[in-house]
Every structure is written in structure tokens, then in C-alpha cells.
A and B are shown apart, each in its own frame.
Chain A
Amino acid sequence: MPSSTPWRLRHDRLLWFHDEEASLLFNPASGQTHLLNPSAAFALEQLAQGPASAGQLAAREEATWGMTLEILALLRQLHRLGLVEPA
């Protein structure tokens, strides 16, 4: 899937619990709880504000954290978990 493909949250009613190092995310649709690193939590919180492509997410992550990880691989993983989908 190209990096220009927009992604969105699959369900918009996700429940969060944060601290400085990590986040817990509960997905009511699946009943699953996920332990997320800051990069994954950032990507999902960005998508909660509206669809975005991997390229856009990478740019925002770069602007916020000064670095970016493998956003496309992360989105694919979140897709497998049923948290995001192509818009």
C-alpha cells in the first residue's frame, strides 16, 4: 500500500490510559486492551482527529518528536489489530 493512502480509525470510541512512557488502549469493538509505545499512541491520536496518510503521519511525528519510525509498518500492524483501516 503506497505511503499516500489515507488511513482512519476503524472505531472512534477508543478508551485511553496514559503515562509518560506508554499508553493502554481499550477497543470496545474487540474487547482487547493494547499496550502501546508513544509512537503508536501518537499515530492513533492523530488519526482520531481525521484521516491521514503514512507520509503525513511521519511528517507530524518528525515535527513533534524530531524522529520518525516505520510508520507504514506500524499502520499495517494496527490494521491487523483492527484499529485502523484505509479511508
Chain B
Amino acid sequence: MRVGEWPLTDLSARLAGTGISFASGPFVVRVVNNNRTFTRDFSTLYAHHPLHAQEEVEDCHIRLLPPWGIRRFLRRQVLCQVDGRVLFHPYPHHLAMPVFEWGLNQAIATRAHQYLILHAACVESRGQAWILAGSSGAGKSTLCAALVGEGWRLLSDELTLIDTDSGQAAPLARPISLKNDAIPHLRDHYPHLSFGPLYPDTRKGAVSHVVPPQDSVTRMAENAMPALVLFPEFIPGTTPLLSPLPRVQGAFQVAGHALNYDLLGEVGFRTLTGMMAKIPCLTFRYGHLRQVPWLLAELGMHRG
């Protein structure tokens, strides 16, 4: 059974009780919550994700709960607790969904060390996985959502997991987090994508998520081999420009975007350089979503 197939009242009751368990790629997450806004948003953004039986092994428990003490009577807020540890300061209760996403990112980033974890998005088409790396705000989630809008399979938005044995990218198939101006641009340009609610007032500005397409969720156990590392940079109004990056420089930059590279030591170096030895690394400056088909044509990945 999938999350979206549950009536909201049943889902709400389950979440408020023992919680529900669902898969995100190789991870099984248990979430407990009694925040109605979260239940509604979760039902939308994780609609296609299958629920798991309670007895299965779970990788982390996330609990969304109100703060303790007098604070809970003054303002409706939410805390995110991962495996019993509170991660962030309290947030307004209507931001429970973004808080959950940040908490799950942190849970995966701090424990999935069978993977080299990159702060990057990853999409796949025709067996070729593209890793979209770069700093926050560079435009990688925007490009990720655009490529999904072009029919590519979503592997992951915020975290790309590279299997240290096979070198393959493992999907997470979680919502794509868009910020500020990217939200209306994506909505206008790819109206067939499904969006979750708009959160206009997070600490990162306005946030809205693209719902992972059903096909991406259905295929979330299907790894893909990286074929390209792309460093996108969105500069409004600019003309598109693709530039090659030397392998070593590219590998050094990717290492800078790896969350557990130092922790993995030699395994991290071998995984990184094993990947970068085989695939090209490019920078992509773009100024409008209309230029995404240009990118695909330049790299021989346009729809044919």
C-alpha cells in the first residue's frame, strides 16, 4: 500500500500512534507525528512511496513533536527528533514538512557511510546518471526539477549516494526542494509536475517541493551508473555555456561537496577517483529553463 492511498484520517491516526514506516531507496524510515499539517503535506509529497510492515528493519526514527514546557502554550511549534535526539531549534508548526526533510537529510548524511555521500542532485535517462553538484543556491535543484520535467528519472535532489563497491548511484526518490524564484519558474515551465504546498517563510526563504514522479519511486531500488558530473550555475538572463572542467579539478571540487569524504578515507578517495576517471565533468551556466533542451541537445540527450 502506498502513502497516498490511505485516507487522511487513517494516516493521521497511524502517524499519531506507533507511526508509519516507509522506504526511501535503501533506507527505511519510521515517522511519528501528530501534526495535521504535516500529515496532509506528507500524504502529498510521499504519495507514491510504499508503506512497510512494522517488523521490518528500520534505519531511523523521526518524531515530530511540540516543544516541552511553557513554550508549547505560547506558540504552536514543532521539534524534529531523530532517534531520540532533537536536531534543530523549534520551528513554526506549519513548517513541519520542511523540518522533516532537513531531519531526514541529516539522518542519512550522518549514517549512510556505505556510500560516498555528495551534496548533489542526481537524475537518470537511458541508463546515464547525471550528478548535479554545487553550492547551495547554485541552481542544482532547479536543473534537477527541470530534467525531471523533461522526463528524466529522479534519483535524488539533496544527497547523491555513490555505492563504494559498485560506483553506482543509489536513488532516494524524495521530494525536490525548490526555493524562491525557482518555484514559479518551474511551475510555469513544467505544469505537468506535481508540487506540494508553498512554505513562504522558512529560514531559507520560500520553499516548495516537487513530488517525486511515480515512476521514480517505483524504480527506487534501481541504481544507475554515473555518466557525467555537472556543476550548474543559474544566472538569470545569461546565455547558456558549457565548459569542460579538468578531471583533477573536478574531482577536487566534488570532494569538497562530499559530506563523508574525510570519514571514508581511502575508500572515499578510491570511490571518487574511480568515478571521475571514467566520466566527464562540466560546468553549465544557464539563465532560463528554456535553455535546458539546449543542454540536452549539446550532450546528445535530447528526446529523439
Which A residues fall within an 8 A CB radius of B? 15, 17-24, 26, 28, 31, 33, 35
Residue in contact with B269 in the complex, picked from A20, A21, A23, A33, CB distance below 8 Å: A33
Closest A residue by C-beta to B276: A17
Stretch at the interface among B107-115, B152-160, B242-250, B284-292: B242-250
The verdict on A31 contacting B249 (CB below 8 Å), with A17-B273, A17-B276, A24-B273 known, is: no
Bitwise interface map of B from 231 to 250 toward A, beta carbon under 8 Å scored 1, else 0? 00000000000000011110
Total contacting residues, chain B, CB less than 8 A? 16
CB distance from B269 to the nearest CB of A (A): 4
- Which of B248, B266, B276, B277 meets A15, CB within 8 Å? B266
Docked complex Cα distance between A23 and B276 (Å): 13
Q: Are A17 and B265 in contact (CB under 8 A)?
A: no
B255-291 residues at the A interface, CB under 8 angstroms: 255, 261-262, 265-266, 269-270, 273, 276-277
The reply on B252 being an interface residue by CB < 8 A is yes
B252: A residues at CB distance < 8 A:
24, 33, 35
Flag if B269 contacts A35 (CB, 8 Å). no
The minimal Cβ–Cβ distance linking A84 to chain B, given in whole angstroms, is 20
Between-chain CB contacts (< 8 Å), 24 pairs: A15-B269, A17-B247, A17-B251, A17-B269, A17-B276, A19-B248, A21-B246, A21-B248, A23-B248, A24-B252, A24-B269, A24-B273, A26-B266, A26-B269, A28-B265, A28-B266, A31-B262, A31-B265, A33-B252, A33-B255, A33-B261, A35-B248, A35-B249, A35-B252
Which residue among B248, B265, B273 has the maximum number of chain A CB atoms within 10 Å of its CB? B248
Contacts of B269 in A (CB 8 A): 15, 17, 24, 26, 33
B247 touches A19 (CB 8 A): yes
B276 contact set on A, CB distance < 8 A: 17
Query: B261 contacts which chain A residues (CB < 8 A)?
Result: 33
Q: Inside 8 A of A28's CB, which chain B residues have their CB?
A: 265-266
**Closest chain B residue to A35 by CB distance?**
B252
Contact partners of A20 in chain B: CB under 8 A = 246
In the complex, chain A residues whose CB is within 8 Å of the CB of B266:
15, 26, 28
Cα distance A36–B250 in the bound complex, in angstroms: 14
Select from chain B the residue with minimum beta-carbon distance to A36: B248
Bound: A24/B247 CA distance, A = 10
> 7 other contacts beyond A17-B251, A17-B277, A19-B247, with CB at 8 A cut-off?
A15-B270, A15-B273, A22-B246, A23-B248, A24-B252, A24-B269, A35-B248
Q: Mark B204-221, 1 if CB is under 8 A from A, else 0.
A: 000000000000000000
CB distance from B264 to the nearest CB of A (A): 9
A5 CA to B41 CA, complexed, in Å: 69
B73 to chain A, nearest CB (A): 49
Report chain B residues within 8 Å CB of A18: 248
Residues of B within 8 A of A22 (CB): 246, 248-249
Task: Name the B residues within 8 Å of A35 (CB-CB).
Answer: 248-249, 252
